[in-house]
Amino acid sequence: MRNVWTILVKELYTYFVSPVAYFVLFVFVGIIGFLFSSSLIIGGINRMETTEVLNVLFLNMSVTLLFFAPAMTMKLFAEERRTGTIELLMTSPVRDVEVVMGKYLASLTLLLMMLALTLPFPIITSFYGKVDVGPVISGYVGLILLGASFLSIGILVSSMCRNQIVAALTSFGILLLLWLIGFIARGRGTIGEVLRYLSLVEHFEDFARGIIGLKHVIYYLSVTAVFLFATVRSVESAKWR
């Protein structure tokens, strides 16, 4: 446990001495703020229900996360492999699972910071009408779960790459594909249902509407667990090559 903490702290330090953390935090908040204010202007706050405003806000955040998650995970392993510091990590008395968890939790911490910075938007909405706390909480729970699964995919890709740009583009491609299959699948019978089930963003819609569905929670947690497990295996297997 101590090792996980040590690695987590070091990875956060790395995020904040490089421009990655600032880029991710401020550009994300900037884009969400832009989308939020334009939805208010275009929609007209007086004609829209506050629930609708929040629904749009959360959906916008879910899609924007898709672009940012790869930037948050790209460095985690790819950079260590490129510079050779992975040799240091692998020859230290640390288990592979501790390395993966330390790095993953660091990226998750950055995600939580990002989401915390968007809290002013629901608060601003509450100036224009009554805002129920329930949907706000469910929206953020959904974003954390969704983000957690995005990051788990990103970290797996990073563990297989030497180049962080390649890692970012590959995980972005995978996330985009998993989002798009949800669109394609709409209204296409059984196969469509299966594809929609696989689409990461589809499961988020209920959260944005204020419902925390157990099956969606389980879905996100199992996706995250599977990809983290695969990452541990990928880190182990690198030794055998």
Partner 1 sequence: MIDVQNLTKYYGSFRGIENVSFRVEAGEVVGFLGPNGAGKTTTMRILTCFMPATSGKATVAGYDVFKESLEVRKHIGYLPETVPLYLEMTVESYLKYMAKLRGVPKKRVKERVETVMEACGLTHVRKRVIGHLSKGYRQRVGIAQALVHDPEVLILDEPTIGLDPKQVVEIRQLIKELGKEHTVILSTHILPEASMICRRVIIINEGRIAGNVWLEGGRVTSIQTGEGAAVQVGDRRTLSLLVRAPEEALKTALQGMPEVLDVRVEDIHDGVVRLSVDHTPDSDIREKISSLIVGNGWGLLELSPMEITLEEVFLKLVSREIEGVRG
Residue 3 in the binding site for partner 1 (CB under 8 A)? yes
| Alpha carbons 97 and 190: distance in angstroms, whole number | 38
Does position 12 interact with partner 1 (CB under 8 A)? The reply is no
Which two structure tokens, joined as six digits, stand for 168? 């970012």
What is the smallest separation between the CB atom of 86 and partner 1, expressed in angstroms?
A: 8
**7 in contact with partner 1 (CB under 8 A):** yes
In angstroms, what is the minimal distance from the CB of 84 to partner 1? 4
Please identify, among the stretches 7-15, 21-29, 64-72, 114-122, the one whose residues bind partner 1 according to the rule CB under 8 A.
Answer: 7-15
Applying CB under 8 A, which of residues 47, 130, 215, 239 lies at the interface with partner 1? 239
Q: Residue 109 interacts with partner 1 (CB under 8 A)?
A: no
- In angstroms, the CA 110 to CA 112 distance is 5
Per-residue contact string for residues 60-99; x = within reach of partner 1 by CB under 8 A: -----------------------xxxxxxxxxxxxx----
Which part of the chain contacts partner 1 (CB under 8 A), choosing from 118-126, 133-141, 165-173, 233-241?
Answer: 233-241
- Classify 71 as helix, strand or coil: helix
Backbone phi, then psi, for 213, in 5-degree steps? Answer: -90, 130
Identity of the amino acid at 69: A
> What is the spatial distance between Cα 158 and Cα 163, in angstroms, rounded to a whole number?
8
Tell me: does residue 52 bind partner 1 (CB under 8 A): no
CB of 213 to partner 1, least distance (A): 41
Query: Does 237 contact partner 1 by CB under 8 A?
Result: no
How many CB atoms lie under 10 A from the CB of residue 205? 17
Residue 21 structure tokens: 């953390």
Contacts of 202 (CB under 8 A, 6+ apart): 182, 196
CB atoms under 10 Å from CB of 207, counted, come to 27
Q: How far apart are CA 211 and CA 207, in angstroms?
A: 5
Structure tokens at 89: 């990590």
The residues in 181-220 that bind partner 1, with binding defined as CB under 8 A, are none
Question: Is residue 13 at the binding interface for partner 1, with CB under 8 A as the rule?
Answer: yes
Identify which of residues 87 and 132 has a Cβ nearer to partner 1 in the complex: 87
Residues that bind partner 1 (CB under 8 A): 2-3, 6-7, 10, 13-14, 17-18, 83-95, 239-241
